[in-house]
Amino acid sequence: MSTEQLDAVIVGAGFGGMGAAIQLNRLGYDKLAIIDREDDLGGTWHVNHYPGLTVDVPSTTYSYWFEPNPYWSRLYAPGVELKRYAEHVADKYDLRRYLRLNTTVDGARWDEDTKHWVITLAGGETLTAQFLIAATGYLCQPRTPDIPGIDTFEGRVLHAARWDDSYSMRGRRAAVIGTGSTGVQLIPELAKETSELTVYQRTPIWVMPKLDFGFAPAVQRAFDRAPLTQRVLRRSTDNFTDLLVLIAMWKYRYFKPVSRVVGYIAALHRFVSVRDKNTRRALKPNYTYGCKRPTLSNTYYRTFNQPDVHLETAGIERIEPDGVVGRDGTKRVIDTLVLATGFDVWNSNLPAIEVIGRDGRNLGKWWRENKFQAYEGLSVPAFPNFLSLSSPYAWVGMSWFDTVECQMRHMNRLFTELQSRGANTFEVTEQANARFLDRMTDLLEDSVFVLGSCAGSRSYWFNESGEAPLFRPTSIRSAVREQDRFPLTDYAIA
C-alpha cells in the first residue's frame, strides 16, 4: 500500500486530462499523477490509428486555444498529427513527469475523515489525493456487437479502435460492420486494398461534402511567424461550427428550414457521388440531421461505385466461420471482419471507473437511479473535490477542446476561490445542481433531440430512457462565459 499523498490524481492522459494538468499547474499544484491504462498519452488519438483516420472538425478549432499549431498539414488533419500534437503539448508543458502509463484505475473512494480521495489501482496499490479528476472520455470502451456466431468466425477480426497496423488488407475479402464516423473514414481506405469489400449498414449516416484543403509550407510559416493570421482563420472555423451546432441542434425549433437545406445538400452530394439509384436510396438517412453524429467525406459515397464494393442493408442474421449471412439469406464469404461498431457509452462508461463519494454514494448507480446530471457538466453533489470531465451535459459544441477549455476555466474560478479562502474542499450544492439540470432540460425542449424525428437514428447520444444528456444545449460562447461567472455560492467551500 502506497502512502503517497498527491494534490490531484487525473485519470486519463488524453487532451482532457492534459488540459486539467496544465490548469492545475497554473494554479500552483505540482504533486500530480496522470494515470492511463494505455502505453502512451494522447487518449483517443493514441488508441485510434485505423486507416483513413482524420479529425472531422477543422484542425484550427480542434486544438487548444492557448497552444495553436501552425503546422497542421490540412484543414482536417490526419490522426497522426493529432497524436504528435499531444506529444508536443506534453513536452512543452512538462506533463510527462506526472504520467503513470500501463496503469489501470479500479476505483476511487472519498474518505470523509481525511478529506481525501483514495484511488485504487489494479494490482492493489492505492494513492491518496486531495482532488480527483476523471478524464476518461465518452468514447473509451470499444463495443463488439453481439451477433450470433461472431465467436465462431475463423478469419481475422479487427476492431477499428484496436487496429493492427501490421495486418495487410491487400487482396482480402473483407466485411465492415458499421457506418458511423469511423466507418465513413475507414471504408474508402479499405476499398483501395481489398479484392472485395461488403459494407453492412444498419442505419445510414448523414454525410456532407468536406471542404478540405492543405496548408502550403508558406502558409504554415505565416501562421508560425504571425499567429494572428491563424487566429483569424480559427475565429471563422470556431464561429462556423458553433453556429452550425446551434442552428441544427439546439435551436432546431426556430431553424427547421435550415435543416431542410442541409438535407438538400446531402441529397445532391449523394446524387453526384453515387451512380446506382438503389444504392443511393439505401444510403439516405431516415431521421433528422443532428439526431446523430453527422460526418464529412468526399470519398465515402463514391466508394460504392466500385464493382467490388457491396452495400448490404437487410441486417445480419449470423456470422459463420467463413462469412456473414444476411437476413435476406445472402452469404458473403470473407477472410477479414472489420468492426467499426463504436463504443459503449452508457453501460461500462459514465463513469469509466467506480467512484464512491460522501455517504457511500456510488456515482454510476446514482446517475442510473436518478437522472444523468452534473453541474456545469463537471461536478456532482456528494462528490467533494471531484471533477468529472466526461459528464452529463459536459459536451460543448463539436470540438472536444471547447469542452476541455470550458472546464479549465471552471477549474480556474473554483480553485482560485478555494485558495483565496484557504479552504480544502469544495462540493456543489444540491440546489445549484438541480437548477442547472432544470435549465438544461428546458433548453433541450427547443432541440432536434426533442423536436426532430430521431426515432430511427439509433444515436448513441440517447440513453435507454430516450434522454440525450451528453451535450450542453447552448452555444460555446455562452458556455465559456458561464465558466467565468458562475455563482461561487453554488459550491460549499470549506
Residue 341 interacts with ligand NAP (CB under 6 A): yes or no: yes
Region from 83-91, 103-111, 197-205, 232-240 binding ligand NAP, contact rule CB under 6 A: 197-205
Indicate which single residue of 293, 358, 413, 439 sits in contact with ligand NAP (rule: CB under 6 A): 293
Residue 56 interacts with ligand NAP (CB under 6 A): yes or no: yes
Residue 55 interacts with ligand NAP (CB under 6 A): yes or no: yes
- Please give the residues from 362 up to 421 whose contact with ligand NAP meets the rule CB under 6 A: none
Region from 21-29, 107-115, 196-204, 410-418 binding ligand NAP, contact rule CB under 6 A: 196-204
Indicate which single residue of 54, 63, 198, 379 sits in contact with ligand NAP (rule: CB under 6 A): 54
Q: Partners of 197 in the beta sheet?
A: 174, 309
Give the CA-trace dihedral at 77, 346, 142, 327, to 10 degrees: -110
Q: How far lies 358's CA from each of 115, 139, 354, 366, in Å?
A: 10, 27, 13, 12
Residue 78 interacts with ligand NAP (CB under 6 A): yes or no: no
**In the complex, least distance from residue 179 CB atom to ligand NAP, rounded to whole angstroms:** 4
316-320, strands of its sheet edge to edge? 316-320, 323-326, 331-333
The set of cell numbers assigned to 280 is: 443511393
Indicate which single residue of 22, 32, 147, 169 sits in contact with ligand NAP (rule: CB under 6 A): 147
Region from 34-42, 178-186, 419-427, 483-491 binding ligand NAP, contact rule CB under 6 A: 178-186
Over the window 435 to 464, marking each residue x when it contacts ligand NAP by CB under 6 A and - when it does not, the resulting string is -----------------------x-x----
Q: Tell me, what DSSP letter sits at residue 150?
A: G
3-state secondary structure of 268: helix
Residue whose C-alpha cell is 470550458: 406
**In the complex, least distance from residue 203 CB atom to ligand NAP, rounded to whole angstroms:** 3
C-beta nearest to ligand NAP: residue: 180
Contact 404, 388 (CB under 8 A): no
In this complex, which beta carbon is closest to ligand NAP, that of residue 147 or of residue 476? 147
Residue 178 interacts with ligand NAP (CB under 6 A): yes or no: yes
Q: What is the rounded distance in angstroms from the CA atom of residue 89 to the CA atom of residue 86?
A: 5
**In the complex, least distance from residue 398 CB atom to ligand NAP, rounded to whole angstroms:** 8
Give the CA-trace dihedral at 443, 444, 448, 451, to 10 degrees: -100
Residue 182 interacts with ligand NAP (CB under 6 A): yes or no: yes
**In the complex, least distance from residue 276 CB atom to ligand NAP, rounded to whole angstroms:** 21
Indicate which single residue of 311, 340, 356, 454 sits in contact with ligand NAP (rule: CB under 6 A): 340
Backbone angles phi, psi at 174, to 5 degrees: -120, 160
Q: How many residues does the chain have?
A: 494
Q: How far lies 466's CA from each of 370, 451, 454, in Å?
A: 14, 13, 10
Indicate which single residue of 84, 100, 202, 302 sits in contact with ligand NAP (rule: CB under 6 A): 202
Residue 179 interacts with ligand NAP (CB under 6 A): yes or no: yes
Region from 53-61, 67-75, 116-124, 475-483 binding ligand NAP, contact rule CB under 6 A: 53-61
Q: What is the rounded distance in angstroms from the CA atom of residue 394 to the CA atom of residue 306?
A: 41
Residue 477 interacts with ligand NAP (CB under 6 A): yes or no: no
Backbone angles phi, psi at 233, to 5 degrees: -65, -40
Residue 177 interacts with ligand NAP (CB under 6 A): yes or no: yes
* Residue partners of 475: CB distance under 8 A and separation at least 6: 242, 245, 246, 250, 397
**In the complex, least distance from residue 115 CB atom to ligand NAP, rounded to whole angstroms:** 37
Q: What is the rounded distance in angstroms from the CA atom of residue 200 to the CA atom of residue 195?
A: 17
Pick the closest to residue 471 from 353, 387, 374, 365 (CA basis): 374
Total interface residues for ligand NAP by CB under 6 A = 25
DSSP symbols for 25-72: HHTT---EEEE-SSSSS-THHHH---TT-B-SS-TTTSS-TTS--TT-
In this complex, which beta carbon is closest to ligand NAP, that of residue 342 or of residue 381? 342
State the residues that interact with ligand NAP by CB under 6 A. 54-56, 139, 145, 147, 177-183, 185, 200, 202-203, 293, 316, 340-343, 458, 460
